[in-house]
Structure 1
């Protein structure tokens, strides 16, 4: 009996996928199903479904690879029930890079045309086409005041561009007052929203645009207040390169916290103590991924002027990029758990180092939006007290 045209198309689609799965076959087979990933997964804690853990996702991919499973769309759906927070990879005794594995798997299984009209066009028009975005939100125009010293290129990123423009202005002012020759790249995207959605074409488009802007500026440092962007440029770009667009080692790519820590770690300064004020600190997942938790806490402790707490458990906020769009209820459930661990009191400030976390934390009724700050806000408040001593170092 001959396959119908529809079934034949689906059959060959699965066959093509099987061929592509060969490149991750060794990684899949290295998983020993110990279940360590289950104990740290914020999504599994919310749903209790095994197929939402890293072990479960790997088992589904192995089933597809061995031709035991054929419903590619269902497997793709389960792969996207993931925050890409990286906690499972950190817990894995086999050191499987689960975040990279699941991004590659999404690319293999992706059918971008099946995304909702709203989601697809939000991603495309507000990220891939910066001229349209700048027409709606306006363009950043900042004047550099220093033309000597080492050059810092501040990459604002999508969320700073659209929702937290004051942070870009403050960061620019901080670098200027520290004596750096500062320039700005705005209206561009690092590409991670597309890559995590499985759209390699738009990822490469965004990446090539940003790469070109960086090379044209010839900076000593590329700095961003978004650790997700820095994690993407430092790690993801090289993993998903498929070309020669790799930044020279002469250009140091650093998160805002890491950069200022290297500059201010020996500074004998502490912000003026503020009585009866408490600050809670939320550690972004990509701050952990970059391995700069201590650097981030150094800045918060140094510039806060009050006691700092991070809650009983420093867990994920539940944003996860497009995860919060595709699974809003699950995203809010993860957020609720995080807010309970923070135990926010009235008028307490909540500080984090990531614009995506700021946006997600602001969805909670447990904290006022105006009380959610980026580390940039704390540093900016005190930068005039230390800038004079630093200019001589540069």
Structure 2
């Protein structure tokens, strides 16, 4: 492991302050799941007192990588980065689980296969197969809470977003030209979010280019498969380097944070040149375009959930809230008590640790309902899927929507 990461072991004083900020510790009370516990275990691994084994692999896989421990650590311990590097070592030492190996290396690398998977899921939902599977309860016989995990899947689009829109979306006398990184969820599951992005940008005289692109790599990086993550990152850098643009925008907090880490994780000079252009769509609309809105009177209360991967980036907390405030009086913005608490989605964490992820999101659902809002907005497609799932399970009428959807609604 790189010395710059191992320095974190020396910084940790084992004070336990991370316990107060760790969503997993709040949900379980288990010391190995908190940063201090993981640092202690890693210290023993580095000293030779422990060897990587199944139990340690399970412990280090049980982390949201939300960064709350690092953000609040008085000694500046980057425990989330340590966990990622441990997962990288685990993959090098023990390999990937067979399911992740096939998904990362035989699916994420190939857009054609991803699109085909999207079509299959669409047909699964639309042809009655999903209803039959659920009625038969066959998934309840499967391991890994598969029956519950299957309910996480929202309605899937019949065709990918990037297949339905042109590569170039021109406007007369453009103010700016941007490239749009759609991310996998918007592309395959939530094309309405992508259409909202296009509508808002074009209405503000911004020309949009949508290059060929791949998964940002965050599922692979977060699982320790840096080889696949680097392959995907380098492919994205190569494709986006082809087009002269003023900015690269994305509607996905996880994609943004991964792009921002490309210079650290990729051996690519192009990443250093592109990353200064990458920007969250909310920040772009507020700080670059300073968009003006003329919403009509509706008065729907809306609250906001901070995605972990966005709130620590420049403008990541302020820009979405500023947009929501500009939507008044169509939407009345109200803060909720646990706005910046992780929702438990964490990319694919809610797939691999379904029950634990639902324990993590439960206080969030309660906070949303206590806010009195009829909608909860966010800026991460993965968070939105998790929130809508948890709200449905709680029989709540509240819906989760992307901020840019609400902006498009009032234009």
TM over 0.5: yes
Q: Deviations over 1:32-70 (max 9, x none)?
A: 111111110000111111111111111111001111112
1:342 aligned partner = 368
Q: Deviations over 1:14-39 (max 9, x none)?
A: xxxxxx46563322111111111111
Counterparts of 1:361 and 1:78, CA distance in 2: 25
2:189 aligned partner = 163
2:353 aligned partner = 327
Counterparts of 1:334 and 1:150, CA distance in 2: 41
CA contact (8 A) 2:178 2:245 kept: yes
1:308 aligned partner = 333
1:381 aligned partner = 409
TM-score by length of 2: 0.81
1:172 paired with 2:198, answer yes
Offset at residue 279 of structure 1 (A):
1.6
1:14 aligned partner = none
1:215 aligned partner = 241
Counterparts of 1:371 and 1:348, CA distance in 2: 7
Larger Rg: 1
Counterparts of 2:213 and 2:388, CA distance in 1: 23
CA contact (8 A) 2:39 2:79 kept: no
Offset at residue 212 of structure 1 (A):
1.0
| Aligned partner of residue 216 in structure 1, secondary structure | coil
Number of aligned pairs?
A: 361
1:49 paired with 2:74, answer no
1:7 aligned partner = none
Counterparts of 1:166 and 1:97, CA distance in 2: 36
Counterparts of 2:93 and 2:369, CA distance in 1: 40
1:272 paired with 2:300, answer no
What are the ranges of 5 or more consecutive residues in structure 1 without an aligned counterpart?
1-19, 384-394
2:49 aligned partner = 68
1:366 paired with 2:394, answer yes
Offset at residue 104 of structure 1 (A):
1.5
CA contact (8 A) 2:204 2:291 kept: no
| Aligned partner of residue 409 in structure 2, secondary structure | helix
Q: Deviations over 1:125-166 (max 9, x none)?
A: 442211111234334232313264421111000111121011
Counterparts of 1:278 and 1:149, CA distance in 2: 33
1:6 aligned partner = none
CA contact (8 A) 1:279 1:350 kept: yes
| Aligned partner of residue 271 in structure 1, secondary structure | coil
Counterparts of 1:75 and 1:264, CA distance in 2: 48
2:228 aligned partner = 202
One of 80, 91, 100 as aligned partner of 2:61 = 80
One of 4, 7, 19 as aligned partner of 1:38 = 19
| Aligned partner of residue 389 in structure 2, secondary structure | coil
1:389 aligned partner = none
2:272 aligned partner = 247
What are the ranges of 5 or more consecutive residues in structure 2 without an aligned counterpart?
119-158
| Aligned partner of residue 310 in structure 1, secondary structure | coil
| Aligned partner of residue 214 in structure 2, secondary structure | coil
1:282 paired with 2:302, answer no
1:93 aligned partner = 74
